[in-house]
Amino acid sequence: MPKAEKLLADAKAALIAADVPTPALDARLLLQHAGNLSHAQLIASPDHQLTDDQLNTFRALLTRRLAGEPVSRILGEREFYGRTFKTSPAVLDPRPDTEALVELCLAHLPQDQHLSILDLGTGSGILALTLLSERSNTTAWAVDVSKEALAVASANAEALGLKKRIHFYHGSWFENVSGAFDLIVSNPPYIASAAIPRLEIEVRDHDPHLALDGGTDGLACYRAIAADAARYLTTHGMVAVEIGASQKSSVESIFQHSGFTLAAHRDDLGGHCRAVMFKR
């Protein structure tokens, strides 16, 4: 029976050959899951041997990853901003780029004030729930057009102990929403429809197209948000959205047309402007 160290090495080599971006990490996560091992256990016991069932499970998981299925889809969870979130085929796979939007929001959410947040297109709930976790005096309302996505977000709220501080609504953008909020936040679909078939397999075949498709030019959702956002903001409320790597000027123009001005922005780790915040 191969030892854990050998299984990891072979899996990493196979993933490298398949041009998987993070072969070592993916191999380790799959082996830990199949063998019911923690990272610490794997490091401490490189000679550990899996049972026959565990070995078969690991090989099956590795086959799925080699076919392009993301590890988060295989395992049903993803780490984001230091917390574990459940995922499903109904929600966008959380990505590190979105942490730029979280950091932008946190920089403008005071610690000592009770604030209200509206999360449009919440998906798995990572934005609202991360902000609630980082700011204990906040309350959130989260909206999504997908009932399946709302079920995932609700499960994540339960797991994080945040059910009492968040309210979920089924609808498209501001549909069924009432009241005024200190922050409206969203990671809307922003891929041009015609570009979706050219996306990497991990995205194209495993993220819901509903969460990707931003219309003909990728900007349709920003127009929808900008058109109505002012009616749902407090006097000093802000709107913060994630954007595509080359969309800053276009999104800024859309919000300016609706009476907003750019208040702040944040780059992702690759140096691209990934999050923008607007005020009236």
Instruction: Please state the separation of Cα 60 from the chain's center in Å.
Output: 26
- pLDDT, tens digit (0-9, with 9 covering 90-100), for 15-43: 999 999 999 999 999 999 999 999 999 99
- pLDDT, tens digit (0-9, with 9 covering 90-100), for 163-186: 999 999 999 999 999 999 999 999
Give CA angle at 227 (222, 229), nearest 5°. 90
Query: According to the model, what pLDDT value does residue 2 have?
Result: 84
Is the distance from CB of 101 to CB of 126 less than 8 angstroms? no
Question: pTM, whole model, 2 decimals?
Answer: 0.93
Quickly tell me which residue has 């780790």 as its tokens. 269
- CA dist., res. 105 & res. 116, Å (int): 12
Helix (DSSP H) and strand (DSSP E) numbers for the chain: 11, 9
- pLDDT, tens digit (0-9, with 9 covering 90-100), for 198-227: 999 999 999 999 999 999 999 999 999 999
- pLDDT at residue 1 greater than cutoff 90: no
Q: Note the helical H segments in 86-219.
A: 99-106, 126-134, 147-159, 201-204
- Mean pLDDT score, 134-148: 97
